[in-house]
Amino acid sequence: MSISKTDTTGAQTVAPATIASVRGLKVHFRSKAGRVHAVDGVDFDVRDGETLGLVGETGCGKSVTGRAFLRLLPVPPGILAGGSVMFRPQTSCGGCGGEGCAQCGGSGRRPTPCPTCRGQGCPDCQGTGAETLDLLKVSDKQMRGIRGDRIAMIFQDPGKALNPTLTIGEQLGEVFLQHRSVDLLEEAGIDSGESGFQAGALRRLAGQRDRRTDRMAAALWPPLRRRAQSVRQALDNRIAAALGETQIPNPRNIMRSYPHELSGGMRQRVMIAQALACDPDLIIADEPTTALDVTVQARILDLIGQLQAKRGSSVIYISHDLSVVRRICDRVAVMYAGRVVEIGETDQIFNDPRHPYTKGLLAAVPTTRTPRGKLAAIPGSVPELVDPKPSCRFADRCAQVHAACTASDPILSAVNPGHDVACFLEHPTSPKTEAAE
C-alpha cells in the first residue's frame, strides 16, 4: 500500500479539499520513430485555492499535462493513452453569496453537490459528495461547457493566442456569449419567459447560435434591432468591466482595437481578462510571462495573484523559471521526461530537494553565492521518449545511479508529510511496479 499523500481512496478525509486530481495520465504522440510517451503516468492533486507550480525542462510534458485539463492536444494527433483527470466544479457559496464565510472557508465557493447522490457520497463522486467529472471522459458538449467557464487557460504568447483579425472586444465577448448569455439577456431586460420569434432570435444571437434569418432580422427590423442593441450594450459593459479589472486603462477604447495595436503586456492582460471572465475554478497558466519583457513580468504575476486571491480560484502555473515559481507557488511538482519526479510544498522543494534531478535543477540556478563562470549544468540531455523501457528516466544522467534504477520504475512515495519523491535513493525498498493508476 502506497503511503502517498496524493492517494484519494480514503475519500472525504482529504484535507484541504482538492479541486482536481490527476492519476496516471498518459499522453502519447505518434511519430515516425514510434510512439512518443510525452506524458507517461503523471499523478498530482490541485488543492482548493492553491497555486501549484509545474516545472521542468522544455519537452518534459508539463504543457501537455496542462492542456489535458481542457482536452486540447496539439494537432499532430496526441493520444490520451490512459489515466484520469478528476475535476470538481464549484459554485458560489450559498451561505454568503460568494462573500466568504465560515461555511466555505472564506473562499466564497463550495463544491457543486454530486447530482447522483445529492452530496451524500457515492462511487460516482468517490465518496466525497461533490460532483466529480473525469475530464478525459465527459462528452464534448460538457467539455465545452467547462472550457472558459470552470477551467480557463492563459496562453504562453498572447501575440499568438489572440486572433489578429478580430478586435479585443469581439474576442473577449465570445466568452460571455458562450457561457453567460442568460445573464446578458436578463441585464438587457429580456424576460426569460418570453416566447415568439423575437425572443428566440435574441436568445440565439446572445448564445452565438444565430441563423442567417436572425442576423438579417436584427439588422433590418427596428424593434428587434433595438433589443439586440441593448444586449450588445450589456455585453460591452461586461467586456469593459473585465478589462478594467486587469487594470487596462480606457477599456472602452481598447475593446475596439486589434491585438497588434497593443503592447505585449497589454495583450497578456487581455488574455487574463478573457481567462478570468467567468470566474473559473481552475486556471491553467502556461508560462504566461515568458514572452514578455522582464519589467512587465512582475506586474503580470502580481495581477494574476491578486485576481486569483479575490476569486479563490486555483492555479496551475506551468513554468521553467524556478525563481518565479518559488515566489508565487504554494506547492511545486517537478516533472522530468513525462513523469512527476518530486512534489511538495514550495519550501520543501527549494530547501530540501530529494530527487537528484531537482537538486541539479536548483544547482543550475545562479545565486549571489555562485562564483563567476561556474554555472552548474546537468550533464546529458532529456532522453528520447519513444517506447521507453521500465527504468528511472533520469538514470542516464544521474550521478548516483545504481542497479535498481535501470531495472524498474520508481514511484512517488512520501519522504516527509506532503513531500513525495520518485527515487530509489529515498525508497530502496520501493515496490517495483508501474506507477499507481
Q: What is the DSSP string of 251-264?
A: HHHHTTS-GGGS-H
Our finding on whether 100 is near another protein (CB under 8 A) is no
Q: Which is nearer to another protein, 256 or 432 (CB)?
A: 256
Q: Which is nearer to another protein, 37 or 179 (CB)?
A: 179
- How many degrees, rounded to 5, is the angle at CA 137 between CA 148 and CA 76? 75
Distance between CA atoms of residues 356 and 404, nearest Å: 15
Distance between CA atoms of residues 267 and 352, nearest Å: 38
Distance between CA atoms of residues 397 and 405, nearest Å: 11
Minimum gap (Å) between residue 405 Cβ and another protein: 33
Position of cell 554555472?
Answer: 375
Minimum gap (Å) between residue 82 Cβ and another protein: 23
The residue within the footprint of another protein, chosen from 25, 38, 42, 153 (CB under 8 A), is: 153
Our finding on whether 208 is near another protein (CB under 8 A) is yes
Q: Which stretch binds another protein (CB under 8 A): 95-103, 120-128, 142-150, 220-228?
A: 142-150
Our finding on whether 225 is near another protein (CB under 8 A) is no
Q: Which stretch binds another protein (CB under 8 A): 159-167, 224-232, 292-300, 340-348?
A: 159-167
Size of site (CB under 8 A) for another protein: 33
Provide CB contacts within 8 A for 114, sequence distance 6+. Answer: 120, 121, 122, 124, 125, 128, 129, 130, 131, 132
The residue within the footprint of another protein, chosen from 47, 109, 179, 267 (CB under 8 A), is: 179
Q: What is the DSSP string of 126-139?
A: TTSSB--EETTTS-
The residue within the footprint of another protein, chosen from 10, 123, 164, 428 (CB under 8 A), is: 164
Give me 149's grid cell.
Answer: 467557464
Q: What letter represents residue 44's amino acid?
A: F
Distance between CA atoms of residues 213 and 224, nearest Å: 12
**Per-residue mark of binding to another protein, 37-76 (x: CB under 8 A):** ---------------------------------x-x--xx
User: Site residues (CB under 8 A) for another protein?
Assistant: 31-32, 70, 72, 75-76, 144-149, 152-153, 155-157, 160-166, 174-175, 178-179, 208, 258, 260, 271, 274
